[in-house]
Structures are given as structure tokens and as C-alpha cells.
Structure 1
Amino acid sequence: MRLPKTAHKSRPWRIHEIAGDFQVEDVWDLPTPGGPDDLARLVRQFAGGDGEGAPVSSPVARALFAVRAKLGALLGWDRPGSGVGGRVPSLRERLPEDLRDGPRGPDIRAAAFTSVYQTHDEWAAEMANATVHTVMHIGWVADGAGGHHGRMAVLVKRNGLLGTAYMAAIKPFRYLGVYPALLRMIGREWKAGAHAH
């Protein structure tokens, strides 16, 4: 379920200390009911268990990401040097000492996200190209009925007019294709994992 941006901004997440110059683009509750200590399981699911996978197994979402990759190659959006550690420094350079010395969490190599930090109730991963620097933040929240679930926020720092135009162009695809397919897949995998768990 899509939530207002205040659902992310109003919580005392550590990401606010690190990415205060990023805009909150989207906030979603994830269909991942669980207990207070289940964030690590959700992070493993996102990372494909071993860091090789990606949180995108839906054919629709895969097709959209494939089109995006082709456009990126054609227009030079993903050229070497345009990502984290090239065009932009990693957010790990902004981490306070306790987060820098704590668990980093797994990367999602297939989706080009590099983990920034992981705590008991937060995980943040970043990616960048010539258009944007993006953070995927997964928080673990109480549901008010004794359970917990994941909440995903996407934070974005646009790269000038190109980044602004890019985000406007992909907005309908995100809401009509990518997010619905992604949320269904996350819910299916979580439910399947709960049976095995």
C-alpha cells in the first residue's frame, strides 16, 4: 500500500542523518507480516539470499528494467564513472562512527544497489547513474496490532535537469508497472519463505 511521504519522514530513522539532502519520492508498506526481529530475513530476501539476486522477478518489472538498461546504454546514463564512487561519493562516507562500524548489509548486485548500512530495524542501499543518486530504505515497523512489517522508502537526489526530466518520464511506469509487480512478488516470496521458515 502506498503511503504519504510523512510516513517515512515522521519516523526517527537513522537515514535522516545521512541523506537529508535527498527527496522522499515514494513510501510503501510491504506485505511482509512478521515479528520484531524479522528485518534481517527481509533484507536477505531482497538480496536474493546470497547477494546475487534482485528484488525483481516479475516479467513486467523485468521487462521495464531491461528497457531502462537499454536506454541507459544508448544515452550514456550508466557509463563508467557515473555511479557511486564516481559521479557521487558513497553515503557510507557520511555515516556516523556507530553505523560505519556496524553491519553493512548485503549488496543487490543484479540491481546495482550497494548496501550503506543495516541495523535491527533499518537497511539502506544506494545506486547512482548520470540521472540520479537513489537510496532504497527498508524499515521494520510495528503495525499497531502486535505484529511488524517492512516499509520501503525511495529517496532521490536528481542530477540537474536531466535527473528531473528522467524522474518525470519514468513516474507512470513506476506506479503502473514496477511497484505493483514488485509488491506482489515481495508478498509471494515472503509468504513462501514463512512456510519454509
Structure 2
Amino acid sequence: MDLSPDKRERILAAASRLIVRNGLQCSMSAIAEEAGVATGSLYNYFDSKEALVRGVYGRVAEVMTERLSAPPDPASSHEERVRRYIERYIDFIWEDPLRARLFDYLDNNPLMPISEAAAIFGQFVDHAIEMLQEAQAVGVVRAGPVSLMASFVRGAIRNTLKRRRMSETPFSREERAHIAQMCWDSIAVH
């Protein structure tokens, strides 16, 4: 059986859209229809709805890791690395409203045990933890559990931008900078 990466991506994108729209009440046949594939073909890629949901989680984790876990510029300071991470996370959440809503849904409605989700998002989470531990070691990030700090900053960004999307006015550079500064201030040594 010849499986097409493009078809797999279409299925994951369709499932993401329907999960955002309807939650998990969407059927496999509705996902197949949204993706423009036969329902039987969908099962060639995902043997169950649970496997498809894991695929959606996995795709979100892949994109997050690709976009936000870039190796640090060795010439940059630890403060610059953390600030750049915060700014990239703001951009990541802001640039794709559907992805942001999907992530919000998955975060607020865990569809699998935390241990399984942790394994899927492990590389992304480990990158943030390592970056913050290094920044802590040189004294630019406050003492405390770095995994808690990373979650706090990401959650603050997601929730702030979720509410900001309700506004009709464009998201300004000043607002972006203000959010980034508030996040930095919440974890920085002052």
C-alpha cells in the first residue's frame, strides 16, 4: 500500500478543523469528507479515532518543535535566547488562529493521559526547560521550577492572545512587545 504524505497531512488538517469546530463529536466519515478522501482510505493512515487524535497532537508537536526549538545562536546571551523564544511563541500562536484554537482545545480537554502527551511534546518541552535552566545557572532567570515557568509563560501568551483575537483592531508591534516584556518580567531576575 502506497501511503501519501500529502493525503496524511490533509487528513490531519481536516481533523484539526473539525475538532476546533465540533470537538471530538466529529466522526471519521466527516473527517474523511472534509479531507476529500474515502473513509476506508482514512483507515490506511489511522486505524482508529484515537490514533488520529494522537496524530493531531503529534503534528502540533512537530510544528512547535520545528518553529520554537531552534538551536541557540552561540553569540547570543541567555537573556536574548529566552526573549527570542518568548517572541517566537507569541508569533507562533498569533499567526494561525485555527492552530491556536486547536492547541487551546487540546490543552483544555486532554484527550490522552498526561504521560502520553508529555512524550509527544517532549522534545519541545525539553528544549524550553534546558534553555531556562541555562539562563537560571547564569543568574538571568529567577530560581524555581523551570517547567512551571515555561508553562506559565506559554499559558499567559495563549490566553492573552485568545482574548486579543476578539478585538477588531490589528495586533500592533507595541502590543506584541508589551506581552513579550510582561512574560520576560515574570521570570527574570530583577
Q: Name whichever structure is richer in helix by fraction.
A: 2
Provide TM-score, normalisation by structure 1.
0.25
Which has the larger share of strand? 1
TM-score, normalised on structure 2?
0.25
User: Looking at both structures, which has the greater relative contact order when contacts are Cα pairs under 8 Å and sequence separation is at least 6?
Assistant: 1
